[in-house]
Structure 1
Amino acid sequence: MGRPLSELDAVDWSALHHAYGDASDVPGLLRALGGTDEEAAEEAFGALFAALCHQGSRFDASAAAVPFLAGLLENPLADVPGLILLGRLATGDDDQWSLPRPAEISGDPDLDPDALAAYEAVRREVPGLVGFLGDGDPYVVRAAAWALSWFPEEAGAVLPPLHDVLSSAPLPATRTTCLLAAALLGDRALFSLPVPDGDWPYATAALLALRDDPPAAVVDAVLDAARTLPKHAFQDDDIPYFYGDVPGVLASALRCAPAARRREAAVALTRLRQRTGHSFPIDAGLVHLLLEEAAATPGAHLSPLERAHLAALPRHAAHAYPGLLPHALHSLGLPDAFPDLASLLASRGLPSFP
């Protein structure tokens, strides 16, 4: 699996680049991450993350580092951070853009070629990463499940050991992580049973897995979770998705609500946001839901409150998260140039954005 650190000098790192310039410092950072000094390994993890996945951007040095990261995972100081780095190099630093399916899978020529190269580099390591699902350390299992979930093309190799974990009565955070991973890998059969009462992890994963035609009971369960999730459950640092932001997971899943349930989902997320405060994933979910409604629904069918919310939320999002609105518009097939968008909204009797 991967390449040993002894082969680092075979790569001309000075000819490669990361966020801060040439990548000649990467070999030293990889050696520190794979070493025995825990403090140095932690510092190296932060430096590699910042340089190779800077605000989600990948670079030519990112793909080059992947085999060496995979090669040092047997080091117990490097297994969890190495798996997390591999997942981030595959899809970027924010799960928001990767649910329910990473854009990198499409091979879209409009995507950054360095991002595509990093994704493919990690994908080549999947056969060696699957074994970490059988590790005795639940932190390793969760990191592996999360990292592997971005590769639905490899579901045939990943799902059997993932099912083994789920059948072993795992810890709650491990069960949640593995359910979400199975959903993102396309395992529809796993979610054929009714949703147990109050089981937001199962319901959320089921909505992601069955998003093309989700049963009403599944949508109901996720909406109920968004409305009633207690504040003490908002953050679970043992869940890798969204860095443990449970409302963020719910918000991203509710973007998959069917057209007839979009407004319910938007109302539930609005109330959830009132309870959580500042939340990028919730705002992103609202932008997507409201813009989908704007694209599909004549303005006469929107209430005054919905029309006002549609006008105000993207204005807030455009200032708070500069890249959010264009990304949401593009992903929905809507014009990402504001004059064109204004014309589309006006044609539906909807308020425009400033």
Structure 2
Amino acid sequence: MRRGVRKVRVVSVVAFEGDWARVHHAYGRAGDVPGQLAGLVAGDPETRRAAVSFLTGSVYHQGTRWPASARVVGPLVALVGAPKTPDRATVLHILRAVALGDARDDELPFDPVRAFADAERVRPADEAAVLRVLFEEDDPDVDGVADIADAVALRWAADAYRAARRHTAAYLDWLRDPDPAVAALAAGLVVWFPGVPGVGEALAAVAGGAGPGGPRASANLGLAHLDGPLGERELGALTRGLGSTDEAVRVTAAVALARRLPAAPPEAALTVLIDADDRNVPGVVPGWDRPLRGHVSIALRRLGL
């Protein structure tokens, strides 16, 4: 317990380091962000809810990231990693939103070089011009920055993504988290960062149970969206999943096998997918936005069925 308390105190120090008022979020200068980060660990549930609402509207605003977004990643990671943080899964939801925005799983496997290519042409002067128009000019010349505004927003998104990429070791650790919601969300997050060593084996080792779906189903979808050949442990975990009594685990294992072995998916996987499609299988797997039936439809379509 003392270790968890100490971690929360470290987060407070990290959150207040530097001059936050020098960077912006959706509503202006970000000097109010440290107080809102502290609100995430408040004892009062209403204070925590207000902090969640503020952060999801400021450093992530309807999918847009801002200069303050990349900077908030480190404190959010530390909060999720602190056992005494209340509502750790909610904090992880915020972290995912900051890191990925509104990206959908049809962008997986994700190629950050391609996705953020247009951000590379942004100069500091371009960013300054956009911020000046948004927050400083009484009569802003919006047309004057129209040709660079999208690229600048993409630059802020790229910065947030790259800040999150530095913490993939933490995401792998969270796959073993005793909170099944944290483990499930971690499985849906870590696959967005290509080249993470050991990610396939880590996803294969995620435990099942903890109610319908849970982290095992999310890990199956994570395996479905990785690139390259299936390793022995991955194949073993997915094959075992086909026999699960948990429908979400069984169906997601079939989805993963169909996506990763499109030339010769196991007959049992095809049977599970066709049955799930016939029944229009309900539900959404924790850690993923697409309904389970959508994953089934995509898997079958990729097989030409």
Distance in 2, matches of 1:79 and 1:90, equals 16
Which residue does the alignment assign to 1:202? 253
TM-score for the superposition, normalised by structure 2: 0.69
Percent same amino acid among aligned pairs?
A: 28
What do residues 41-75 of structure 1 show as CA deviations (whole Å, max 9, x unaligned)?
12212321222222222221111100011111213
| SS of the residue 1:93 aligns to | coil
- Paired with 1:251 and 1:61, the residues of 2 have a C-alpha distance of 38
User: Which of 142, 165, 173 is equivalent to 2:213?
Assistant: 173
Report the Cα distance in structure 1 between the residues aligned to 2:218 and 2:65, rounded to whole angstroms. 25
AA matched with 1:188: L
Task: Give 2:16's match in structure 1, choosing from 4, 9, 29.
Answer: 9
1:33 is aligned to 40
In the superposition, the TM-score normalised over structure 1's length comes to: 0.61
Match of 2:293 in 1: 247
Instruction: Mark the runs of 5 or more structure 2 residues left unpaired by the alignment.
Output: 1-6, 120-153
Counterpart residue number, 1:104? 112
Aligned-pair distance for 1:239? 1.6
Q: Which position in structure 2 is the counterpart of 1:79?
A: 88
Structure 1 position 79, deviation (Å):
1.8
Q: Does the 8 Å contact 1:72/1:78 carry over to 2?
A: no
Asked if the contact 1:83/1:147 (under 8 Å) is kept, the reply is: no
Contact 1:133 1:165 in 2 (8 A): yes
**Secondary structure of the corresponding residue to residue 110 of structure 1:** helix
Displacement of 1:94: 4.5
Deviation at 1:170, TM superposition (A): 5.8
Q: Is the 8 A contact 2:257 2:266 kept in 1?
A: no
Superposition deviation, residue 171 in structure 1: 4.4
- The answer as to 2:165 corresponding to 1:114 is no
Residues 44, 15 of structure 1: CA spacing in aligned structure 2 closer, same or farther, 3 A cutoff?
same
Distance 1:249 1:25, change over 3 A: farther
String of CA shifts for 1:2-44, please: whole Å, max 9, x gaps.
9732133333222222223322221111110133222221221
Residue matched to 1:126: 168
How do 1:1-354 residues align onto structure 2 when only pairs under 5 Å count? 4-73=11-80, 74=82, 75-98=84-107, 100-104=108-112, 106=114, 108-110=116-118, 112-156=154-198, 158-166=199-207, 171-174=211-214, 175-186=216-227, 188-189=230-231, 190-191=234-235, 193=239, 196=242, 199-210=250-261, 213=263, 215=265, 217=267, 221-230=272-281, 234-236=282-284, 239-242=286-289, 245-253=291-299, 257-258=302-303, 261=304, 264=305
Q: Distance in 2 between matches of 1:26 and 1:252?
A: 40
Contact preservation (8 Å) 1:33, 1:77 = yes
The amino acid of 2:256's aligned partner reads A
Q: Deviations over 1:298-318 (max 9, x none)?
A: xxxxxxxxxxxxxxxxxxxxx
Equivalent-residue separation in structure 2 for 1:22 and 1:97 (angstroms)? 34
> Equivalent residue for 2:138?
none
Structure 1 residues 169 and 216: alpha-carbon distance in aligned structure 2, compared to 1, 3 A threshold: closer
Matched letter for residue 93 of structure 2: I
C-alpha separation in 2, matches of 1:180 and 1:119: 21
**Segment drifting more, 102-111 vs 200-209:** 102-111
- Distance in 1, matches of 2:41 and 2:183, equals 19
* Structure 1 unaligned residues grouped into runs of 5+: 265-354
| Greater RCO, CA 8 A, separation 6+ | 2
Give distance in 2, aligned partners of 1:54 and 1:210: 38
Question: Could you tell me how far 1:179 is from its partner in structure 2?
Answer: 0.8
User: Hey, what's the Cα distance between the residues in 1 that align with 2:73 and 2:193?
Assistant: 15
d(CA) in 1 for partners of 2:86, 2:162: 25
Contact 1:204–1:222 (CA under 8 A) maintained in structure 2: yes
Q: Is the 8 A contact 2:89 2:182 kept in 1?
A: yes
